[in-house]
Structure 1
């Protein structure tokens, strides 16, 4: 048995792992102002200590002057890195950061109508009181869904929430430590994991899934028409060897979903057809891609139309958290072969068409670069329940359609800043 090699830059690497743990401490105590202040002070100083520890070892690191000088130049031009350094100096030499508690309010009327505004409120003001204050004006929307997100910001960086800002600094430092580690020794180090379990010696150059900057527990949702709150519930399904074995036995070998999302979509549709014929139904599934690699997936559940609006905006939040630049959405849908208009000249959705609608598997794909694809496979059921798949209809290109089939992904597309 070969012993694990020790870390060649253990002091700096351990400080980086400290920062990971401290970031979660800030997130876990987000609703406790004094704890946020305490943990944030520790995190800001800890991030600065990462570079201090690395500089102390520069004589043992090959090519240090070259790659560290590049890092310094990039850091000087990065507003977040400058804020991090200035904040550390303020904390050590002057006082705490001047934190402001904000409420970010998002109103969703439908796929197209939405608004977002930031308000400053006392940090412990109940959400119901915030909602009452905002919507006391009768001119404000009285229908749709409202989401209130709690936010802490530093007065010196008013446009960035602190979890988001410090996570970006952490990623930059992790990339630097990865460069240093590789320069000293390309082999993995033996630094042990610690609490929480996600704090390992792995060096991330992209956002970690555990560092969610839009967590559900910091948001509250209200259905204005129903006059009640909407509870957001998430379940983690562990992918164990036993679950994989059962899945392979029932559905066959898993489809390879790594690659360009546009090219992956037909493979997903093929597998979805096999699953539908086996189970007679298919749950909706969303895959999040970053640079052609799947970084997360989820099974959304829609109880009503307002719930669907809310869920897809939360999907857009997840895209932002993961820095995802591609998404695939598979679901069962109603499908119509032609268009019909109501008395006001609006297209009647297939779900409201009655007998001339049919069932279909639908795969929607969108990328941040502006590539889109839609795959529709109609199907019918015999009197004995057997599934008969029809011919797939494939539409792909760089422009969005006008018939609304991409409305489900509209919150994601808008978050990417595309028209």
Structure 2
């Protein structure tokens, strides 16, 4: 728009300043009216992109009056570049060429010679042919660039879709492999625990063997829930059907750990209330991972789990004392449990801390922002 305004101002003012005052104005126009109409015709070029055909018709009609014939190349260029109809361009180009030839070439005013033709053709070409060809070239180049840009955007979208499809297929493959490997091993553990429970003559260790089987079944259920999120096969539900664990399941988690031989004390303070599902699930996983670490590294240490409901927050602390003996659990560790917990809590906007205490124990604490969930 700024460029068009400059072009319109230049076309409206410069010819009037450079040509000077003619001795006789065409069609009997008075001087002020001639210059005012000439300036308005030049200023009309500001709409050359929006209405190129109408502006070109107006300038062609003003050619016999010598008003703004300098604006004709700009109008023809704009028509060739921005016009939508090739038929309109051909008709107006022919009319503009004939009208300009009648004005530039001395046809009918005196004897027409070859010298007049040779001297007049460059002016005719500069006023009509050159701007039309330039506009057609720039318009075609603009169309090609737009098509190339659209093609590049379409290829980029297709690439994103292909990458997304590849990720989905990889997630499904990972889910299948995890199910084949982990579920198979856990199922064998459950089967062997059941065989031990049936074959044991005394009931001294029957409760522990039964607990192993129950823990294995819970592990299989949670594994299927996690793999259900990874699977994206058509016709299958991607979300787990079973509800995700919440703080109401925390007592069962503590009881299962106690049955495995851990000394755990669970304390809840503050007005208990139902929270949003994301916060409750994060709190449950935090306690679960903390108890797993205690069982791995400090199996015989006393552990304190504290939940404190505060306005807008839930404070969780899992403290274990100094272990009296090295742990004999020999459980594999990936080293990413606390990192994952930190990410879970940080995503919710909370704070997470984990580290050794001064007395030699270990503490995991977090403050999770919460909002009450409607019943």
Q: TM-score, normalised by structure 1?
A: 0.23
Q: Which has the higher contact order (CA 8 A, sep 6+)?
A: 1
Q: TM-score, normalised by structure 2?
A: 0.25
In proportion to residue count, which structure has more helix? 2
Rg comparison, structure with higher value? 2
